[in-house]
Chain A
Amino acid sequence: EAGVVQSPRYKIIEKKQPVAFWCNPISGHNTLYWYLQNLGQGPELLIRYENEEAVDDSQLPKDRFSAERLKGVDSTLKIQPAELGDSAVYLCASSLGQGRDTQYFGPGTRLTVL
């Protein structure tokens, strides 16, 4: 069974530029999560989707971050414009949902903002 797929694996951009990350969850998983992980820290939830609905986006900085999950499958996380402090690893995870909350993570995208 294929795991969570993320692309790109690495991204280097200059500040004020836009950037987008893509995630394809495990087939059949209704719940999708985007996390941010700073060096030496645990992951921090940015947004959680149940199918195509964002049910928890309280930690998403909405002035510059946006996300979408069209058709309830793939998802895209965007930053515009990027700031130096956005340098981190962006992780996507998925779970079956409906109370079955074991999360399976992708490899992450390492973003460096210069």
Chain B
Amino acid sequence: DAKTTQPPSMDCAEGRAANLPCNHSTISGNEYVYWYRQIHSQGPQYIIHGLKNNETNEMASLIITEDRKSSTLILPHATLRDTAVYYCIVRDSYAGNNRKLIWGLGTSLAVNP
């Protein structure tokens, strides 16, 4: 089972910031939070990941709470091309070679003109 909880859908106006929440209350100390997105009819696309500190790259920012039980992906200026399903994933605990990404249902983000 997925170790994360996300809202099933969200809307955002074009040009505004999109803030996508994710709860991962059972995360353990050595588990990373990954974010991917999947545009319709395409394969998933890596966005960003983090462990404890906030992270930023050219696509997005990732804010992780101090207790690490939740995080928020921020798309600072959403465009129509950001319409996609966004997946928040906690990487399974390291156990030898068995490091899985367990995917949930994600959040379907609709960016509206």
Contact = CB atoms under 8 A, between A and B. Distances in A.
A104 B44 CA distance: 8
B100 A45 contact: yes
Contacts of A4: 43
Q: How many residues of B sit at the interface, in one of the four size bands?
A: 20 to 34
Given A56-B97, A107-B42, A101 B91 contact: yes
Interface of A: 4, 40-45, 48, 50, 55-56, 91, 93, 101-108
B58 to A, nearest CB: 15
Nearest to A59: B100
Interface of B: 2, 34, 41-46, 49, 87, 91, 97-101, 103-106
Contact of B44 (A43, A44, A45, A101): A43
B96 to A, nearest CB: 9
A42 B105 contact: yes
Contacts of B100: 45, 48, 56
A41 B105 contact: yes
A97 B92 CA distance: 15
Contacts of A91: 43-44
B3 to A, nearest CB: 12
30 contacts: A40-B105, A41-B105, A42-B2, A42-B103, A42-B104, A42-B105, A43-B44, A43-B103, A45-B101, A50-B97, A55-B98, A56-B98, A91-B43, A91-B44, A93-B43, A93-B44, A101-B99, A101-B101, A102-B34, A102-B46, A102-B49, A103-B46, A103-B101, A105-B43, A105-B44, A106-B43, A107-B41, A107-B42, A107-B43, A108-B43
A41 B87 CA distance: 11
A50 B97 CA distance: 9
A44 B103 CA distance: 7
Contact of B106 (A42, A48, A56): A42
Contact of B87 (A42, A48, A104): A42
